Structure 1
Amino acid sequence: MKTLTVLRHAKSSWDDAVARDFDRPLNARGQRAAVTVGRHMRSEGLAFDHVVASPAARIVETVEQVETGYGSALAPEWDRRIYLASASTLLDVVHELPAGADSALLIGHNPGLEDLVLMLVPDRVGDLLRDSVEEKFPTAALAMITFDTDDWGAIRSSAGTLVRFVRPRDLDPALGPES
């Protein structure tokens, strides 16, 4: 069995006058959300054999803040292809995950991450977790999908089971949508 966890970067700052979107940092709320998600990951005993992430500034900062809450380094492999990638490009990244890794964490951007989850998990009536992802995959949200295979390259559309979907507001209501 393979387990893929996807994490969207935390809320970034649009107030920072950066020349490129790639360089946009997190805002204070995003930093708090990332630490909170990291604490949740630790409390749930989540562990990863391999971590791959976009090298965009907001992802690098998200990783740093998640590590603070998680209490351990994630040590991601930085992969430029993940930056603003489509679901099909992200699936290519998944297919290339190391064979010896049974549990991987992919940290990236929307809409690609949301589209990837919706592609990999079949649309079944009454699947509340998938319905929640389809409604919105907010910043710093975490989704975990399991696959009945031992080969990352064999993962196909509708082959996964969504076993976890956690939004920052589920962990701390103060991190919910702004009024």
Structure 2
Amino acid sequence: MSVAESRRIVLFRHAKADWPEVTDHERPLAERGRLDAATAGSRLADTGIPFDLALCSTAVRTRETWKLAVHELAHRPKTVYEERLYEASPGELIAVLNETPDDARNVILVGHNPSVQGLAEILPGAGAGAGAGSGEAREWLDRRGFATAGFAVLSFTGSWKALEPGVATLDDYWAPSE
């Protein structure tokens, strides 16, 4: 596989979490979150993207979201539970993605806000270049923010090591209805 091939990143925010008396890392999904995670999985399947790799935060709510969503996919990608995705900055998420092997074309990252939204904002950059991408997707994110169980589809050409702000295009965004 050539490093100049087109690649896709799906940024998937965990579903709605509950607030029991546990540490933030241990918070489980709320009932609505369990329903939304399965619905998001169905919508991910509808994209037809054959994921090669899933990078998932180790927090309980992200692991539960992914387990419910991946059940809806025709093909289960290799999943890596990555501690660095919890409480990461957008730059730290890019650093993790930069380590992705180039034989992976389509990667889904299951994480948290504000870093997932921040990454969805900086990877496409601003303006016309590789920039904003789908006007409807950008408008939704700008107006509503990155909803729980929502996902953004971005694409770029090049090696994972070359992934940086401004090189991607925001192709799509989906979130469950509130």
Scaled by the length of structure 2, what TM-score is found? 0.88
* Counterpart contact for 1:7–1:142, Cα < 8 Å: yes
* Counterpart contact for 2:57–2:86, Cα < 8 Å: yes
Unaligned runs of at least 5 residues, structure 2: 1-5
Paired residues in the alignment total 167
Closer, same or farther in 2 for the Cα pair 1:52/1:167, shift >3 Å?
A: same
**CA displacement at 1:164 relative to structure 2:** 1.1
Structure showing the higher helix proportion among its residues = 1
Runs of 4+ in structure 1 deviating by more than 4 angstroms, as ranges, are: none
**CA displacement at 1:124 relative to structure 2:** 3.4
Unaligned runs of at least 5 residues, structure 1: 170-175
CA deviation vs aligned residue, 1:22-53 (integer Å, no higher than 9, x gap): 00000010000000011112223222111111
SS at match of 2:117: helix
The alignment yields a C-alpha RMSD, in angstroms, of 1.6
CA deviation vs aligned residue, 1:121-163 (integer Å, no higher than 9, x gap): 12238833123223310101110110022x0011121111111
Q: Spell out the pairing of 1:13-28 with structure 2 (5 A cutoff).
A: 13-14=18-19, 16-18=20-22, 20-28=23-31
What is the aligned partner in structure 2 of residue 160 from structure 1?
A: 168
2:67 counterpart of 1:58: no
CA deviation vs aligned residue, 1:26-85 (integer Å, no higher than 9, x gap): 001000000001111222322211111101000111011112333553441011000021
What is the aligned partner in structure 1 of residue 51 from structure 2?
A: 48
What is the aligned partner in structure 2 of residue 97 from structure 1?
A: 100
Scaled by the length of structure 1, what TM-score is found? 0.87
What amino acid is aligned across from residue 66 of structure 1 in structure 2? A
